[in-house]
Amino acid sequence: MLREDRFRNLLLISTLLGIGVGVFSAGFALAWKSIDGWVWSLVPSPIHRLWISPAVGLVIGLIMHRFFDPGNMSAIVKHFHERGRLPYADNKPILPVSLLGLVGGQSAGPEGVLTQVCGSLGTFLSERFGKPRFMRILTLAGMGAGFGVFLRAPAGGAILWLEVLHRRGLEYYEAVIPTILTSFVGYMVMTGLLGMDLVPMWHYPPSHPEAWWWLIAAIGVAGVCAAVAHGYAWQFRFIGRTFGRWPMPIFIRTTLAGVMIGVLGYLFPLSYFYGGYQMNEVLNQSMTLKLILGTLVAKMLAVSFTIRGHWQGGLIIPHLLMGAMIGKILHLIVPPLDPSMAMLVGMTSFNAAATQTPLSSAMIVLALTGFGNPIPIFLASLTGYLVGYRIDLIEHKGSRTEPPGFHLPDMDNGVV
């Protein structure tokens, strides 16, 4: 069998995987939105956050106490590097725990459950079709597509998981085309089932005409965002170490995390939930410097308690929200700075610094905002990446060990 035929087979399975990713994403989103709308229509007042989040935290802890703690994004990275696959067993606790956390106000996004379930679906298809050499590629395709499909950024989401695995650069270049194909097929399936309005586009206020100094301003804003990301990473690790020093059952830890999430969400309402729907309020709402500063600190703490408190979720959308807040703060301090440019540059550079993903961070922001000029966005993303060079927020990143073209051997030895 020719290498071209093997690659064609890989793309065919990637297409089938995309259909599965789209169906699962649509089903999960429908269940999440239905439960979320029902719960918060019964208890709309923010005061109820003070008891709902701790109660959800207790249930999350009891579920993981009954099964096991599957870990967060770092665990997914570790599983992939060690085994080239994602375990099916992790889906059992991740699905209910993630659904509960998203309804219960967690400051982490749905990319954790989507990445895990869709990545394990890629693992399953490689085994089902007897293609063990395709396992890493298909697992990566499912991981990237799971996030990109739901976020409505199929290209940026696909590239994100190819970047986030490594400390420096994108090493599984063989997976780029299959992952993007899977992501776009999944996106078409999900939007065909649920429509285009499931996740709202982020609308930034009208900006001033672009000027030559925008590029310099983008570098400056990105540098500030990356510096803040260093502080955020420190407190993220500090909260993790603090939890680690106090041996306690997991359901106590998740409940304490729920208490902090609820209190912060009551005091600073925009810090509650993962940030997808709160982004437009940050971008367009008039806010005082004191309020936006308080909300930023609350959001950083809420994210840290969510992840370090063993709730399940991803960091990307919360990071984009934090970056938008920093950009808004800089505009309030330096009024000549264009607010739209500052917020969009802040979104890109903060996530690029915190997760070390310069390409996908820029692509995601451009896809979700429709910003016309990509140059300041990519420049800011690279600046954030470089200034945040030593940030190691997601653990277990590593380098690939497979030779080039590992999935397409030259000779057909019966194991393809």
Please give the structure tokens belonging to residue 50: 């003070």
Please give the structure tokens belonging to residue 196: 């285009």
Q: Determine the longest span between alpha carbons in the chain, in angstroms.
A: 67
pLDDT of 130 = 86
* End-to-end CA separation in angstroms for the chain: 10
Q: Which residue, 304, 330, 273, 207, is CA-closest to 52?
A: 273
Q: Tokens 């959800």 map to which residue? A: 56
Predicted model pTM:
0.94
pLDDT of 258 = 97
**CA dihedral (295, 374, 355, 198) positive or negative:** positive
Domains along the sequence of the chain with CATH: 3-194 (1.10.3080.10), 214-387 (1.10.3080.10)
| CB 232 within 8 Å of CB 302 | no
pLDDT of 22 = 96
3-state SS, residue 17? helix
CB neighbour list of residue 244: distance below 8 Å, 6 or more residues apart? none
pLDDT of 163 = 94
Where on the phi/psi map is residue 13: left (φ > 0), alpha (ψ -120 to 50), or beta?
Answer: alpha
Rounded CA separation 227/69 (Å): 32
Rounded CA separation 390/392 (Å): 6
CA angle 63-71-325, nearest 5°? Answer: 105
Rounded CA separation 347/361 (Å): 8
DSSP letter at 314? B
Rounded CA separation 32/68 (Å): 22
Rounded CA separation 235/241 (Å): 10
Rounded CA separation 339/332 (Å): 8
Rounded CA separation 232/323 (Å): 11
- DSSP string covering 53-104: HHHHHHHHHHHHHHS-----HHHHHHHHHHHSS--GGGHHHHHHHHHHHHHT
pLDDT of 42 = 93
3-state SS, residue 276? coil
Residue-wise over 260-287: b if at least 16 C-beta within 10 A, else e? bbbbbbbebebbbbbbbebbeebbeeeb
Query: For each of the chain's 416 residues, which pLDDT tens digit applies?
Result: 456 678 899 999 999 999 999 999 999 999 999 999 999 999 999 999 999 999 999 999 999 999 999 988 889 999 999 999 999 999 999 999 999 999 999 999 998 899 999 999 999 999 999 888 999 999 999 999 998 898 888 999 899 989 999 888 889 999 999 999 999 999 999 999 988 766 667 888 887 777 788 899 999 999 999 999 999 999 999 999 998 888 889 999 999 999 999 999 999 999 999 998 899 999 999 999 999 999 999 999 999 999 999 999 989 999 999 999 999 999 999 999 999 999 999 999 999 999 999 999 999 999 999 887 899 999 999 999 999 988 988 888 888 888 888 888 654 444 44
Please give the structure tokens belonging to residue 5: 């035929």
